[in-house]
Amino acid sequence: MTVCERIQNLEEQTLSPYAMLSRNSAGRETQEMECDLRTPYQRDRDRIIHCKAFRRLKHKTQVFLSPEGDHYRTRLTHTLEVAQIARTIARALQLNEDLTEAISLGHDLGHTPFGHAGERALDQIFPGGFRHYEQSVRVVERLEKNGKGLNLTKEVRDGILCHTTGTEALTMEGRIVRTADRIAYLNHDIDDAERAGVLTEGEIPERITSVLGHRKSKRIDTLVRSVIEGSQNGTVGMRPEVQAAFDLLRDFMFQSVYENPYAKGEERKVPHLIGALFDYLQKPENLPEDMRLIAEQDGCARAACDYIAGMTDHYAVELFKSIYVPASWKI
Protein backbone atom coordinates (compact mmCIF):
# COMPACT_ATOMS: atom_id res chain seq x y z
CA MET A 1 0.00 0.00 0.00
CA THR A 2 1.37 3.42 -0.96
CA VAL A 3 1.41 6.43 1.37
CA CYS A 4 -1.32 8.03 -0.74
CA GLU A 5 -3.53 4.95 -0.49
CA ARG A 6 -3.05 4.85 3.26
CA ILE A 7 -4.11 8.52 3.54
CA GLN A 8 -7.16 7.87 1.37
CA ASN A 9 -8.14 4.88 3.50
CA LEU A 10 -7.91 7.08 6.59
CA GLU A 11 -10.13 9.65 4.90
CA GLU A 12 -12.80 7.00 4.34
CA GLN A 13 -12.57 5.84 7.95
CA THR A 14 -12.50 9.21 9.71
CA LEU A 15 -14.19 11.91 7.61
CA SER A 16 -17.83 12.97 7.67
CA PRO A 17 -20.28 11.58 5.07
CA TYR A 18 -20.46 15.19 3.81
CA ALA A 19 -16.70 15.43 3.23
CA MET A 20 -15.23 15.20 -0.26
CA LEU A 21 -12.92 12.19 -0.34
CA SER A 22 -9.86 12.65 -2.53
CA ARG A 23 -10.43 9.17 -3.94
CA ASN A 24 -13.79 10.38 -5.30
CA SER A 25 -12.46 13.50 -7.02
CA ALA A 26 -13.89 14.27 -10.46
CA GLY A 27 -10.28 14.62 -11.56
CA ARG A 28 -8.34 17.02 -13.75
CA GLU A 29 -8.90 18.41 -17.22
CA THR A 30 -5.78 16.56 -18.36
CA GLN A 31 -5.23 13.13 -16.85
CA GLU A 32 -1.96 12.54 -15.02
CA MET A 33 -0.17 9.73 -13.24
CA GLU A 34 -1.21 9.75 -9.58
CA CYS A 35 1.41 10.47 -6.93
CA ASP A 36 2.18 7.65 -4.50
CA LEU A 37 2.87 10.10 -1.65
CA ARG A 38 0.19 12.78 -1.97
CA THR A 39 -3.52 12.79 -2.63
CA PRO A 40 -4.83 14.89 -5.55
CA TYR A 41 -5.84 17.71 -3.18
CA GLN A 42 -2.43 17.73 -1.49
CA ARG A 43 -0.82 18.05 -4.92
CA ASP A 44 -3.15 20.94 -5.78
CA ARG A 45 -2.20 22.74 -2.57
CA ASP A 46 1.49 22.32 -3.34
CA ARG A 47 1.09 23.53 -6.94
CA ILE A 48 -0.64 26.69 -5.73
CA ILE A 49 1.98 27.44 -3.07
CA HIS A 50 4.80 27.10 -5.61
CA CYS A 51 3.20 29.13 -8.42
CA LYS A 52 4.25 32.68 -9.33
CA ALA A 53 0.81 34.19 -8.78
CA PHE A 54 0.88 33.06 -5.15
CA ARG A 55 4.23 34.74 -4.54
CA ARG A 56 2.98 38.01 -6.01
CA LEU A 57 0.18 38.19 -3.42
CA LYS A 58 2.68 39.48 -0.83
CA HIS A 59 2.86 42.81 -2.70
CA LYS A 60 -0.84 43.27 -3.42
CA THR A 61 -3.13 45.53 -1.40
CA GLN A 62 -5.69 44.06 0.97
CA VAL A 63 -7.48 47.25 2.07
CA PHE A 64 -5.01 50.10 2.55
CA LEU A 65 -2.97 51.13 -0.50
CA SER A 66 0.80 51.10 0.03
CA PRO A 67 0.56 51.62 3.80
CA GLU A 68 3.55 52.94 5.74
CA GLY A 69 4.25 50.13 8.20
CA ASP A 70 5.24 46.50 8.34
CA HIS A 71 2.14 45.08 10.00
CA TYR A 72 -0.69 45.84 7.60
CA ARG A 73 -2.24 42.87 5.84
CA THR A 74 -1.43 42.08 2.25
CA ARG A 75 -3.37 39.81 -0.06
CA LEU A 76 -0.95 37.02 0.94
CA THR A 77 -1.39 37.36 4.70
CA HIS A 78 -5.16 37.54 4.16
CA THR A 79 -4.96 34.28 2.21
CA LEU A 80 -3.04 32.58 5.01
CA GLU A 81 -5.55 33.75 7.61
CA VAL A 82 -8.41 32.41 5.51
CA ALA A 83 -6.64 29.05 5.24
CA GLN A 84 -6.11 28.88 9.01
CA ILE A 85 -9.75 29.66 9.84
CA ALA A 86 -11.10 27.35 7.14
CA ARG A 87 -8.92 24.45 8.25
CA THR A 88 -9.99 24.86 11.88
CA ILE A 89 -13.63 24.63 10.84
CA ALA A 90 -12.99 21.76 8.43
CA ARG A 91 -11.16 19.75 11.07
CA ALA A 92 -13.94 20.21 13.60
CA LEU A 93 -16.58 19.17 11.06
CA GLN A 94 -14.45 16.21 9.89
CA LEU A 95 -14.19 17.57 6.35
CA ASN A 96 -11.26 17.24 3.97
CA GLU A 97 -8.60 19.66 5.25
CA ASP A 98 -6.38 19.28 2.20
CA LEU A 99 -9.18 20.29 -0.17
CA THR A 100 -10.15 23.15 2.15
CA GLU A 101 -6.58 24.42 2.30
CA ALA A 102 -6.05 24.20 -1.46
CA ILE A 103 -9.18 26.26 -2.16
CA SER A 104 -8.22 28.79 0.51
CA LEU A 105 -4.71 29.28 -0.83
CA GLY A 106 -5.93 29.68 -4.40
CA HIS A 107 -9.03 31.80 -3.87
CA ASP A 108 -7.42 35.22 -4.53
CA LEU A 109 -4.72 34.34 -7.07
CA GLY A 110 -6.46 36.47 -9.69
CA HIS A 111 -6.91 39.56 -7.53
CA THR A 112 -5.78 42.85 -9.03
CA PRO A 113 -3.25 45.33 -7.67
CA PHE A 114 -4.79 48.02 -5.45
CA GLY A 115 -7.40 45.67 -3.99
CA HIS A 116 -11.04 46.08 -4.96
CA ALA A 117 -10.31 49.52 -6.41
CA GLY A 118 -8.21 47.80 -9.07
CA GLU A 119 -10.93 45.22 -9.60
CA ARG A 120 -13.57 47.92 -10.12
CA ALA A 121 -11.31 49.77 -12.54
CA LEU A 122 -10.73 46.69 -14.71
CA ASP A 123 -14.41 45.80 -14.52
CA GLN A 124 -15.29 49.16 -16.06
CA ILE A 125 -12.88 48.99 -19.00
CA PHE A 126 -12.54 45.32 -19.89
CA PRO A 127 -15.23 44.11 -22.34
CA GLY A 128 -17.51 41.69 -20.52
CA GLY A 129 -16.41 42.92 -17.11
CA PHE A 130 -13.86 41.64 -14.62
CA ARG A 131 -14.36 39.58 -11.47
CA HIS A 132 -11.39 38.49 -9.41
CA TYR A 133 -12.79 35.03 -8.63
CA GLU A 134 -13.15 34.26 -12.34
CA GLN A 135 -9.63 35.57 -12.90
CA SER A 136 -8.33 33.30 -10.13
CA VAL A 137 -9.68 30.32 -12.06
CA ARG A 138 -8.15 31.68 -15.27
CA VAL A 139 -4.78 31.92 -13.51
CA VAL A 140 -4.78 28.24 -12.54
CA GLU A 141 -6.32 27.00 -15.79
CA ARG A 142 -4.64 29.19 -18.39
CA LEU A 143 -1.94 31.58 -17.24
CA GLU A 144 0.41 29.76 -14.88
CA LYS A 145 3.34 27.67 -16.15
CA ASN A 146 3.69 29.65 -19.39
CA GLY A 147 0.14 29.05 -20.50
CA LYS A 148 -0.15 25.42 -19.43
CA GLY A 149 -1.99 26.12 -16.18
CA LEU A 150 -1.73 24.11 -12.97
CA ASN A 151 -4.22 21.40 -14.03
CA LEU A 152 -6.00 21.41 -10.67
CA THR A 153 -8.85 19.11 -9.72
CA LYS A 154 -12.41 20.13 -10.48
CA GLU A 155 -13.30 20.52 -6.78
CA VAL A 156 -10.50 23.02 -6.12
CA ARG A 157 -11.32 25.07 -9.22
CA ASP A 158 -15.00 25.08 -8.29
CA GLY A 159 -14.24 26.23 -4.74
CA ILE A 160 -12.07 29.07 -6.03
CA LEU A 161 -14.75 30.20 -8.47
CA CYS A 162 -17.52 30.11 -5.86
CA HIS A 163 -15.68 31.61 -2.88
CA THR A 164 -17.60 34.89 -2.96
CA THR A 165 -21.13 35.84 -4.07
CA GLY A 166 -23.37 33.86 -6.39
CA THR A 167 -23.48 30.11 -6.87
CA GLU A 168 -22.37 28.03 -3.90
CA ALA A 169 -19.50 25.58 -4.22
CA LEU A 170 -20.25 21.95 -5.03
CA THR A 171 -18.41 20.75 -1.93
CA MET A 172 -18.94 21.59 1.71
CA GLU A 173 -15.23 22.38 1.88
CA GLY A 174 -15.72 25.10 -0.73
CA ARG A 175 -18.68 26.53 1.18
CA ILE A 176 -16.57 26.62 4.35
CA VAL A 177 -13.91 28.67 2.55
CA ARG A 178 -16.52 31.26 1.52
CA THR A 179 -17.51 31.76 5.16
CA ALA A 180 -13.89 31.72 6.38
CA ASP A 181 -13.00 34.42 3.84
CA ARG A 182 -15.63 36.75 5.30
CA ILE A 183 -14.65 35.99 8.89
CA ALA A 184 -11.01 36.70 8.09
CA TYR A 185 -11.31 39.93 6.15
CA LEU A 186 -13.87 41.63 8.39
CA ASN A 187 -11.82 40.99 11.50
CA HIS A 188 -8.34 41.69 10.19
CA ASP A 189 -9.60 44.81 8.41
CA ILE A 190 -10.75 46.11 11.81
CA ASP A 191 -7.23 45.49 13.10
CA ASP A 192 -5.66 47.37 10.17
CA ALA A 193 -8.20 50.21 10.42
CA GLU A 194 -7.31 50.67 14.09
CA ARG A 195 -3.62 50.73 13.19
CA ALA A 196 -4.34 53.35 10.54
CA GLY A 197 -6.31 55.52 12.95
CA VAL A 198 -9.52 55.11 10.94
CA LEU A 199 -11.53 53.66 13.82
CA THR A 200 -11.18 52.42 17.38
CA GLU A 201 -12.50 49.29 18.99
CA GLY A 202 -14.85 51.40 21.07
CA GLU A 203 -16.63 52.67 17.94
CA ILE A 204 -17.93 49.21 17.05
CA PRO A 205 -21.61 49.22 18.15
CA GLU A 206 -22.41 47.42 21.38
CA ARG A 207 -25.13 45.37 19.67
CA ILE A 208 -22.30 43.77 17.66
CA THR A 209 -19.62 43.39 20.34
CA SER A 210 -22.06 42.10 22.96
CA VAL A 211 -22.64 39.07 20.72
CA LEU A 212 -19.32 38.63 18.92
CA GLY A 213 -16.86 39.99 21.47
CA HIS A 214 -14.77 43.07 22.16
CA ARG A 215 -11.48 41.77 20.73
CA LYS A 216 -10.48 40.39 17.33
CA SER A 217 -9.50 37.00 18.74
CA LYS A 218 -12.76 36.71 20.65
CA ARG A 219 -14.83 37.65 17.60
CA ILE A 220 -13.09 35.09 15.42
CA ASP A 221 -13.50 32.44 18.11
CA THR A 222 -17.22 33.23 18.43
CA LEU A 223 -17.78 33.09 14.67
CA VAL A 224 -15.79 29.90 14.15
CA ARG A 225 -17.58 28.14 17.00
CA SER A 226 -20.93 29.30 15.64
CA VAL A 227 -20.15 27.90 12.18
CA ILE A 228 -19.14 24.58 13.69
CA GLU A 229 -22.33 24.45 15.78
CA GLY A 230 -24.61 25.73 13.03
CA SER A 231 -23.37 23.58 10.14
CA GLN A 232 -25.11 20.26 9.74
CA ASN A 233 -26.48 17.90 7.10
CA GLY A 234 -24.18 19.32 4.46
CA THR A 235 -25.14 22.96 4.99
CA VAL A 236 -22.95 25.76 6.37
CA GLY A 237 -24.54 28.21 8.80
CA MET A 238 -24.31 30.10 12.08
CA ARG A 239 -26.57 30.54 15.06
CA PRO A 240 -29.18 33.17 14.11
CA GLU A 241 -28.09 35.75 16.68
CA VAL A 242 -24.44 35.42 15.62
CA GLN A 243 -25.32 35.65 11.93
CA ALA A 244 -27.33 38.81 12.62
CA ALA A 245 -24.41 40.42 14.48
CA PHE A 246 -22.01 39.34 11.74
CA ASP A 247 -24.20 41.01 9.11
CA LEU A 248 -24.28 44.18 11.20
CA LEU A 249 -20.48 44.08 11.48
CA ARG A 250 -20.18 43.91 7.70
CA ASP A 251 -22.50 46.91 7.29
CA PHE A 252 -20.53 48.81 9.92
CA MET A 253 -17.23 48.12 8.14
CA PHE A 254 -18.57 49.35 4.81
CA GLN A 255 -19.73 52.60 6.40
CA SER A 256 -16.65 53.14 8.56
CA VAL A 257 -13.77 51.75 6.50
CA TYR A 258 -14.51 50.48 2.99
CA GLU A 259 -16.34 53.68 1.99
CA ASN A 260 -14.42 56.02 4.30
CA PRO A 261 -13.13 59.03 2.28
CA TYR A 262 -10.03 59.37 4.46
CA ALA A 263 -9.11 55.67 4.35
CA LYS A 264 -9.79 55.29 0.64
CA GLY A 265 -8.70 58.71 -0.61
CA GLU A 266 -5.82 57.44 -2.71
CA GLU A 267 -8.11 55.03 -4.54
CA ARG A 268 -9.45 57.83 -6.74
CA LYS A 269 -6.14 57.66 -8.62
CA VAL A 270 -6.45 53.96 -9.41
CA PRO A 271 -8.91 54.10 -12.36
CA HIS A 272 -6.68 56.54 -14.25
CA LEU A 273 -3.57 54.44 -13.66
CA ILE A 274 -5.25 51.16 -14.61
CA GLY A 275 -6.95 52.76 -17.62
CA ALA A 276 -3.71 54.25 -18.89
CA LEU A 277 -1.89 50.92 -18.61
CA PHE A 278 -4.78 49.13 -20.33
CA ASP A 279 -4.69 51.58 -23.26
CA TYR A 280 -0.92 51.23 -23.63
CA LEU A 281 -1.00 47.43 -23.52
CA GLN A 282 -3.58 47.19 -26.29
CA LYS A 283 -0.69 47.12 -28.76
CA PRO A 284 0.95 43.66 -28.94
CA GLU A 285 4.43 45.16 -29.18
CA ASN A 286 3.92 46.73 -25.73
CA LEU A 287 3.14 43.39 -24.11
CA PRO A 288 5.86 41.21 -22.61
CA GLU A 289 6.83 38.20 -24.67
CA ASP A 290 4.96 35.69 -22.53
CA MET A 291 1.67 37.59 -22.96
CA ARG A 292 1.82 37.85 -26.74
CA LEU A 293 0.60 34.30 -27.23
CA ILE A 294 -2.45 35.20 -25.12
CA ALA A 295 -2.97 38.24 -27.36
CA GLU A 296 -2.81 36.07 -30.48
CA GLN A 297 -5.24 33.51 -29.11
CA ASP A 298 -7.63 35.59 -27.00
CA GLY A 299 -7.11 39.17 -28.19
CA CYS A 300 -5.08 42.13 -26.95
CA ALA A 301 -7.74 43.28 -24.49
CA ARG A 302 -7.72 39.90 -22.77
CA ALA A 303 -3.91 39.84 -22.66
CA ALA A 304 -3.74 43.37 -21.28
CA CYS A 305 -6.32 42.51 -18.63
CA ASP A 306 -4.44 39.34 -17.63
CA TYR A 307 -1.16 41.21 -17.42
CA ILE A 308 -2.53 44.07 -15.32
CA ALA A 309 -4.47 41.76 -12.99
CA GLY A 310 -1.26 39.87 -12.26
CA MET A 311 0.75 42.97 -11.36
CA THR A 312 1.76 43.90 -7.84
CA ASP A 313 0.94 47.42 -6.65
CA HIS A 314 4.57 48.54 -6.92
CA TYR A 315 5.10 47.07 -10.37
CA ALA A 316 1.95 48.76 -11.73
CA VAL A 317 3.07 52.14 -10.39
CA GLU A 318 6.62 51.77 -11.73
CA LEU A 319 5.39 50.64 -15.15
CA PHE A 320 3.04 53.64 -15.29
CA LYS A 321 5.95 55.94 -14.41
CA SER A 322 8.21 54.42 -17.04
CA ILE A 323 5.57 54.92 -19.74
CA TYR A 324 4.00 58.26 -18.85
CA VAL A 325 6.34 60.17 -16.50
CA PRO A 326 9.44 61.77 -18.11
CA ALA A 327 12.69 60.63 -16.56
CA SER A 328 15.24 63.19 -15.44
CA TRP A 329 18.14 63.83 -17.79
CA LYS A 330 21.32 62.00 -16.82
CA ILE A 331 24.79 62.78 -18.13
Question: 110-124: per-residue pLDDT in tens?
Answer: 999 999 999 999 999
pLDDT given for residue 67 in this prediction: 65
- DSSP state at residue 22: G
Region 212-224: mean pLDDT is 96
- DSSP state at residue 169: P
Report residue 39: phi and psi, to 5°: -75, 165
**Helix orientation angle between 300-309 and 289-298, rounded to the nearest 10 degrees:** 140
pLDDT digits (tens, 9 = 90+) for 124-147: 999 999 999 999 999 999 999 999
CA angle, 20 as apex, 16 and 23 as ends, to 5°? 115
Label residue 330 by pLDDT band (50, 70, 90). low
Identify the architecture of domain 48-259 in CATH.
Orthogonal Bundle (1.10)
pLDDT above 70 for 104: yes
**Whether 154 contacts 44, CB under 8 Å:** no
pLDDT given for residue 69 in this prediction: 67
d(CA 238, CA 119): 30
d(CA 47, CA 301): 28
CA distances from 257 to 57, 108, 141, 172 (A): 22, 21, 34, 31
pLDDT given for residue 65 in this prediction: 74
d(CA 32, CA 123): 36
Region 23-27: mean pLDDT is 97
Q: Give the burial class of 22: count Cβ atoms within 10 A of its Cβ; 0-12 exposed, 13-18 middle, 19 or more buried.
A: buried
pLDDT above 90 for 53: yes
Region 239-256: mean pLDDT is 96
Label residue 11 by pLDDT band (50, 70, 90). very high
pLDDT digits (tens, 9 = 90+) for 64-84: 776 666 778 899 999 999 999
pLDDT above 80 for 331: no
Query: Which segment of 19-23, 191-195, 238-242 scores lowest on mean pLDDT?
Result: 191-195
What does pTM read for this prediction?
A: 0.95
- DSSP state at residue 265: G
